Structure 1
Amino acid sequence: MSRNSPSPKDDLTQLKQKLIHYKSEIRHVQNQLKSYERALEREKENTSFWKKKHAETLSTSEKEVEIEGLERELDLLRNELSEQKIIAEAFREKASRKQPVIEEKIVEKIIEKVVEKPVERFEKSDILCFFQHSILLPEQSERELMIFGNVIIQNQTSSTLHSPVLCLKMKPVASSTLSGKIVDEKSIEASSIPSSSLEWRYAHPKWNEKIQHDGEYWIKPIKQTSLKPKDKLLFDSFQVVIPLSSDTTSFILEGFFYSEEWQEGIPFLNKVVLNFP
């Protein structure tokens, strides 16, 4: 036997030390798992409360995104816990047989076993669409009310979405005007606005008629022609001007998201609803 070769006793001692290490790792992961499970239950209770109290608010959608993140963390922790348990069991078995252990080989085999096929997600609820907005109330001498906002689309599916299109619909028809980083396709080349600032264009060939007759703004991004999993699509800094008169009693802004995969449209999680006395 070579002088540099460990004795069976030394090898067994090393195995026991590694076994102690992996047991400690298992306890640590189990504690993390319990912590995430408690946090997940709290968030589910909070989300249930917000859904009952404000069914169409932005807070609910944010809570749902947070819960999805916690669930993914739990899945990762469960996988890690499975790995640690199987590795520890492999070392325990080798130690009982007093056989030399090649740690790298064991870990490679364990990882191959525990890697699971990604879950396919492609439900309507996996595409989050909502408004963020604020309202600027008019002064006494003013007769206009303004809404400033953003549209956020987040792809929570496991597939890429192609040719995204937004429809922003206002009621009553022709009661207000919407403006933002939108340009007519025919005017892109002739536009004096820097090309870097041009983000959206009208998606309907007769877009002006759709606005006047139906109150619908059909728009699509100029550069972002697809939306990968976990990516976001933003229509930011839009403005809506609402003239106020004695006939103005209410205003509604609602949104719909379309793509090649969702041609029937997905309504936004919330709406902008105003009622005037």
Structure 2
Amino acid sequence: MDTLESARPALVARPQVRRVLSEDLSAALLDGVTAYYATDIADVLRAALVVAVGDTATVVASGGLARTIRRLTAPTDRSVIALNWVDSPPEVAGSIDVAADVVAGRITTTWSWCARTRTERAVVELSHAWSDALVALAAQASVVSPLPTVLDESASVAVDLPGAISPDSVRRAIDAVTCRYPYLATGRRVVGGTAFAVRGAGTSLRCTRSDALHPDWTPMVQFELTRAGAARTRLAITANPRLVGDLPGLVRELRAELLGDPEHSPVAGY
């Protein structure tokens, strides 16, 4: 668990508190989170601080993930909060300054502030919100894993369906099968030149070739529905063999779901 302690008495011009993150959280941040977001640990810590601060102040962020997140907020207060690594010169002195370091494998931060403008309780609450934001970043990174640099070529299978079938019926069938086999909802996201598998990203059914895929991830199992004529609709399924080794079996399960859909009326020969 995180630890928090006062480093100086409260009745001084610039008091301090120290927050030490747990070993598990520190390890996750130093390894998986930095790899997933393709950045360094200082940027990750600043990004979490931007989330914790919200629109109440401005976090100094010259680039990286923190600057990207900061663009989404419009500060209502001109107060400046700065987070710096202990062996780096501070970019600016803020109303709250956070000095970060890694000590014995644990991320350690010292928070100092102007006693005339901030209370210790407010700074402690901010440090709690910052820690919560880091936990959320680590949780996001925990559902991804790097993909091999070279993957087997994707395989495809196409199945003809009745022309009158609705995309909603097909989506329900895909969702039902995905509930049984959650890996079908795996997505692919590229960060800093590295491809990651994102578990639970969701499925995507494209009904026309102009339908855009999800902006943040590419489904590793792709479904595409096209009208092949008045009496025929074709469903194409494309997947990497490492993820789906039995495409014909997947087709059989989708057909079984469609046959059980009350809004789908099968035709002869289906």
Q: Please classify the TM superposition score into its range, dividing by the shorter chain length.
A: under 0.3
TM (norm. structure 2) is: 0.24
TM (norm. structure 1) is: 0.24
**Greater per-residue helix proportion:** 1
The higher radius of gyration belongs to 1
